[in-house]
Structure 1
């Protein structure tokens, strides 16, 4: 079940979103999740290889469904230290009259896993529906690199995109949307603030956030303590657990006091940010911080938001159980959300 912003304004009800969906419970008895890991850093290379193959298959299927409507190109974007960041670039076969806006998406994976193929289906769907240019971006992973390299990589790529519209064939005056899922959203939130603070030109016009972290327990303040319950209540839940986040923290070695790591505490506040679209899972340990951040934007800073809460669904359920009806709806909602951010919901 999806909830409107009006129905989520009472935080005392948020815990009700966690009751697992009965159809998902039955499916879990019959179908194994597609993505399982042992939370051992030493085994990350093997896990990456196994998961990469699944994400490539998903991307290929989405591209096949788009047939001749969307083209794909692999590109490499320079980072500040000379490294090259892999990205998948999607262009429409028919360019809209007036030009194509740009969408940049960042994958999840706890800063340790993931690739450009993860967000490719959403990029392909948006390009197919709205004629935008879409870029699914990779950043360097931990433990090979440490915090804040992933943020620096994505900032470098964002600035590069703003200055290389001719290469991308995008018109950022038509729209410039930035976002991601899970760890990708964790990166996108502070970089959206940085883009505002440093005057990125052209400015971002929309932010997409799927299951976003915004405040880690180590930085929890009294202001949010009474609202911040899902981290503990769902710490042993499905897909994302406290054991998994502990492994990611060990691999990444973040600065827990940094506003990059807890952007809800961004020092210059949250005013004058672009419209933001949220997809939040009701049975996810990250649920409450996503809902808190949405409230901060909408109620405290008059930022336009749209939010969908998938009651009874755990973190990244659409990856693990793609046959579930809510997974299919999630993918459509993602594309429609990007359309709202682009000012095109047809």
Structure 2
């Protein structure tokens, strides 16, 4: 059965209308694609700040918070955008970050981390860790509850989420109460069945793009010992990580590495909730946002974050 016929029928319009991007040749073209306009919520205030990134240079972060808020401390989530470590910008996920704010009554911080190949590993994860440090050091100014700091992201943002959880644990860094790496890009080896199964270039993300993106991200590290902060599936020990929510589509090349990650987290004693969506390709809920299964998937992870902040000592 070919890829298209396996796609959930209500998602097929996304396959038909999404531009085909082939990396690395189309990288600059893809970066120039306009971000679809969205309606900003009147209940959420968005500001931008310049903070110190992982290299000590200025980095922009976007801050989303309720328009109507008192001086009480709110939970916060660092939301890391996706894009295969080579694409993307916080502006592309404004609507989702606003939804987090409204549903969970929280603050969202989204960093404009450095992208490969201009800035290969470890630039992106160093910027994300710098964001975590800045957030916790600014907790009094931002009125943030330090006992309720979460991290999350999709695709490469999910990979950086998993890496950030490892780095914070290993460095004895700021406490993270919950992580939400959605369909995470965490395995550079391309050895799973699903990473080689999804080859159709209409699949949004597929085998050759995955290989090209990893080569660009790893740079000179590609032929050496790969750090788990680059590819978190390589971590030997997943114990001591925060409670986790993740999901992936059945037709996502990251399906099997996500299942592997979930299995190993569970075996390490980490509380996990996992959802597998049949007939769904990579980032389907963003490509076809009005489909029932897309709305269900997004509502489920938004509510998981809300529950995590309500019961930070429990799973979700």
**Offset at 1:177?**
0.2
Q: Tell me the equivalent position of 2:136.
A: 162
- SS in structure 2 of the partner of residue 197 of structure 1: helix
* Matching of residue 141 in structure 1 with residue 112 in structure 2: no
Aligned length: 304
Q: Tell me the equivalent position of 1:32.
A: 17
- Structure with bigger helix share is 1
Q: Tell me the equivalent position of 2:9.
A: 22
**Offset at 1:214?**
2.5
Q: Tell me the equivalent position of 1:194.
A: 167
Question: What does 1:27-176 align with in structure 2 at a 5 Å threshold?
Answer: 27-28=13-14, 31-33=16-18, 35-41=19-25, 43-51=26-34, 53-54=35-36, 57-58=37-38, 61=39, 63=40, 66-67=41-42, 69-95=43-69, 98-173=72-147, 175-176=148-149
User: Residue by residue, what CA displacement relative to the aligned partner does 1:296-328 show, whole Å, maximum 9, x if unpaired?
Assistant: 112x12211111211110001122222322222
Q: Tell me the equivalent position of 2:282.
A: 315
Residues in 1 aligned to 2:296 and 2:211: alpha-carbon distance in whole angstroms = 31
- TM-score for the superposition, normalised by structure 2: 0.88
**Offset at 1:124?**
1.0
Contact 1:94 1:131 survives alignment (8 Å): no
- SS in structure 1 of the partner of residue 109 of structure 2: strand
**Offset at 1:96?**
7.1
- SS in structure 1 of the partner of residue 166 of structure 2: helix
- SS in structure 1 of the partner of residue 74 of structure 2: coil
Q: Tell me the equivalent position of 1:236.
A: 200
Structure 2 unaligned blocks of 5 or more: none
Is the alpha carbon distance of 1:50 and 1:79 closer, same or farther for their aligned partners in structure 2, counting shifts above 3 Å?
Answer: same
Contact 2:55 2:126 survives alignment (8 Å): no
- SS in structure 1 of the partner of residue 213 of structure 2: helix
Is the alpha carbon distance of 1:167 and 1:49 closer, same or farther for their aligned partners in structure 2, counting shifts above 3 Å?
Answer: farther
Q: Tell me the equivalent position of 1:10.
A: none
Residues in 2 aligned to 1:85 and 1:28: alpha-carbon distance in whole angstroms = 33
* Matching of residue 285 in structure 1 with residue 253 in structure 2: yes
**Offset at 1:148?**
1.5
RMSD of equivalent CA atoms:
2.4
**Offset at 1:97?**
8.3
- Counterpart of 2:210 (choices 222, 245, 252) is 245
Q: Tell me the equivalent position of 1:11.
A: none
Q: Tell me the equivalent position of 1:304.
A: 271
- SS in structure 2 of the partner of residue 209 of structure 1: strand
